[in-house]
Structures are given as structure tokens and as C-alpha cells.
Amino acid sequence: MRPPTTLLSGLTVVEWGNYVSAPYCGRLLAQLGARVYKVEPPSGDEARAYGPFPGDLPDPECSGLFLYLNAGKVGVTLDVTQTTGKDLLFRLLSKADVFVTNWPLTFRRRLGLDYETLHERFPELIVVSVTIFGDTGPRSEDTAYSIDADAVSGACWAIGDPEREPLILPCSQAEFQAGAHAAAATIAAVLARDRGYGGQHVDIAASDVLATYVGTNSLIFIFHGLKWARAGRRAFGSGGPYPYVILPCKDGLVVLICRARHEWERLVRAMGQPEWASNPRYQDLIRMGRDYPEEVDALIMPWLSRHTRAELLHIAAEYNFPIGPVHRMTEVVNHPHLRERGFFVEQPHPLLGSVRVPGLPYRFDETFPSHPGPAPRLGEHNELVFCDELGLSRGELVQLRRAGVI
């Protein structure tokens, strides 16, 4: 067996980003071994204002969101709207393989930090932009936020109570999913560059990412002609066989998916072959799912209510039909399966000691992701980067700080 190593050792990334998408891309690359320079404005990344905070006391150095997104990065501050700040960013980019950003296209163009301008200056640099609508197309310069990606992609169509307003994807999922795709595409671009293709533009649009996720809904609508509406706790009125639904049980909720005939029959046997199940009305799974699913829910729920989630899992294993517990977040972070796989890791922090955070969602046999250090404090590595690596004097650093450049 080869000695363990980090996959992206030797890769240098400059991340000029804010909030979630670009920082999450940078975090994934850092955890795989890349050296990631995080460039924040002197006022700090917006994520520093978001909790959770220890004791619910806001502190830009203790934001749970920021600590998670920026673990293991080298942190500097730069006002790139000032000429000196932009020049220092260019000096960093001259040493970099990858530039990751999620600032709006119009802002980047105004500063000469768009792909076309950067490519002329750094032809081997891979430029990764992570925005809502991408850097091309009629909406590329629109002011937009995650809610726009949820809406334009059709994701909102399937989320929420049918009698109420649509909902957005929770927990900044548009941002996180865009960042994850950006990291994967970055690695592909690095491989392409190493094969002689030079630096190129990785253009990630969150609306594109979400649109691919809801593509199945579009196909259902096209081929089944279903009403354009949400379905609440039921997987979007899929037009498919019954059941595909979240229902209550004795101690919480379960996801019940028995759409194949043999799965439904096993569920019926597990329920003790109730008399209603022999009624011809409950033999056509497609009609049940399409025309009167709530009616069948009401027949199943009394049986579910007599059992806990754990008991239902045991019954499902015995009768071989699919069911799944809906876990509360406290159950997720203490789940024995995730603990056995080492999914949650302890991340060091100079003020808090350590913080428990999610690790990478994949594992390797012979190459291992690095365990990242703490997220940088605001401007923590200014002296290291600007003086020790870029050659500025300590006196120049003081002048830059006074001028508000760093």
C-alpha cells in the first residue's frame, strides 16, 4: 500500500469570496490538501455575522458558519477596490493555480477581475466563478440571491404546503450545492490544465445546479401532465404508485416508500392483512397515488401510530419493505452510524478549544483528506503572507493597515 497523502498537495488556491458558495468550494479543496488563501475585505466575510454563536453572543471570530466554511485556510484581508489592494491580489494570483470567487460579474468586471481580463494576464490560471445565473446569458448581470435560484430552477414548485406560499430550499442549499459542484469542476479543470489545455473558466450557476436536481419533476410534468403545484409532506404529486409519503408514527415521523407491487404486499402482510386491503379500491397503486392518497394514509396511520421508528425499522427488515425514520438534528449529530464512520470531526479553535463539525461526505482507502486547522481570525495571516511570502516590509504593512487596504 502506498503511504497516505493528501490528494491536492501542491495546489494553490486564492479564494476571494463571501458567505457560502465560494468559501465552501475553498473548504472542500483545502480539506483535500490544497493551500487556500482566503481573501476577506477588512470588515470581514459576511458569514462572520451568522451563528450559531457560543452562548448566543455574536462574535465574528466564533461564528459557527464561518468556522465550518473556512477551516484550514490562510486568511488575509484586502480591500481590492483600492489600487494597492488589487495589486496585492494580483501578486497572490501570480503564484496561484486557481482563483475562486462568488462576487457579482458586474463588480468583477469593474475591477478587472473577470475571467477574460484575468486570462490575458494569467493564461494558466483557472478562474472559478460561482454565481446565481452564471457569467453568461441574459440574466448574468442581474442582481440575484439564492431565492432566485430556487425560484427560476423550479425547486420551489415542489416544496411547501399546497395551500400556502412556496418555500425555498432550507439551510442555504443553493449555495452549498453550487460550492460543491464548483469544487468538483475545479479538480476537473486542474486535470485538463495538466494535460495541456491551459487555464480556463469554470462557470457555475446555482440556478443550473438546482435545475438539474429538479429535472425529474419537469419530466413528470411533461409526460404525466400533472398540476403545477406543491404537495406538502408527500413527495411532489409524483403521479406514481402509492405510497411515497412522510407519515407520523408513535415517536416521530417515517418515510414510507413501497411503490412496487411486491413491496406494497409485504407492507400489507406486516400490518396483519387488514380487511380494507382486500378492497378492489386499494389494489391499483397508481390510482391510489394519483387520486386519493390521503384516504389510504388515514388507513395506514393507526398501524404506524402503534409503533416507534425503531420498531418499524425492525418490522421492515423482517418483511423486507422500505421505510426510513425522519431524524431530528440532535439524533443526526449523535447517530451511531455517522459516529462509526467518523463523519463528525473535532476542529481546533484558539478561543473555543474545539468545535464539532461535519467532515467530508466521502472516504478513501489509500489517500486521505487532511484534517484542516482552525478557520483564520480576521487578518490573522496578513504578516505571514504579505511580508514573509510577498516581500513587504513590516513598515509597509503598517501603512497599508492605516490606509484601510488590509
Q: What is the pLDDT of residues 366-404, one digit of tens each?
A: 666 666 789 999 999 999 999 999 999 999 999 999 999
User: Would you state the pLDDT for residue 205?
Assistant: 98
What is the chain's Cα-based Rg? 25
Query: Edge to edge, what strands does the sheet with 201-205 contain?
Result: 74-77, 35-40, 12-16, 98-101, 126-131, 201-205
Q: Which residues of the chain have pLDDT under 70?
A: 1-5, 220, 224-233, 235-239, 366-371
Instruction: Check: CB of residue 392 under 8 Å from CB of residue 378.
Output: no
- Classify each residue of 115-148 as buried b or exposed e, where b means 16 or more C-beta atoms within 10 Å of its C-beta: beebbeebeebbbbbbbbbbbeeeebeeebebeb
**How far is the C-alpha of 385 from the C-alpha of 107, rounded, in Å?**
25
Instruction: Check: CB of residue 161 under 8 Å from CB of residue 230.
Output: yes
Q: What is the DSSP string of 354-390?
A: EEEEE--S---SSS------PPPPTTTTHIIIIIIIT
User: Would you state the pLDDT for residue 1?
Assistant: 41
Please tell me the pTM assigned to this model.
0.90
User: Would you state the pLDDT for residue 363?
Assistant: 79
How far lies 91's CA from each of 85, 341, 392, in Å? Answer: 10, 41, 11
Burial of 304 per CB tally in 10 Å (0-12, 13-18, 19+): buried
What are the E-state strand segments in 116-178? Answer: 126-131
| C-alpha cell at position 34 | 490544497
What are the residues facing 323 on neighbouring strands? 256
What are the residues facing 14 on neighbouring strands? 37, 99
Who's near 72: CB < 8 A, 6+ residues apart? 27, 30, 31, 36, 370, 372, 373, 374, 375
Greatest Cα-to-Cα distance within the chain, rounded to the nearest angstrom: 86
pLDDT tens string 20-49: 999 999 999 999 999 999 999 999 999 999
**How far is the C-alpha of 309 from the C-alpha of 304, rounded, in Å?**
9
| C-alpha cell at position 87 | 495589486
**How far is the C-alpha of 97 from the C-alpha of 122, rounded, in Å?**
10
Q: What is the DSSP string of 61-88?
A: TS-HHHHHHTTT-EEEE--TTSHHHHHH
| C-alpha cell at position 269 | 402482510
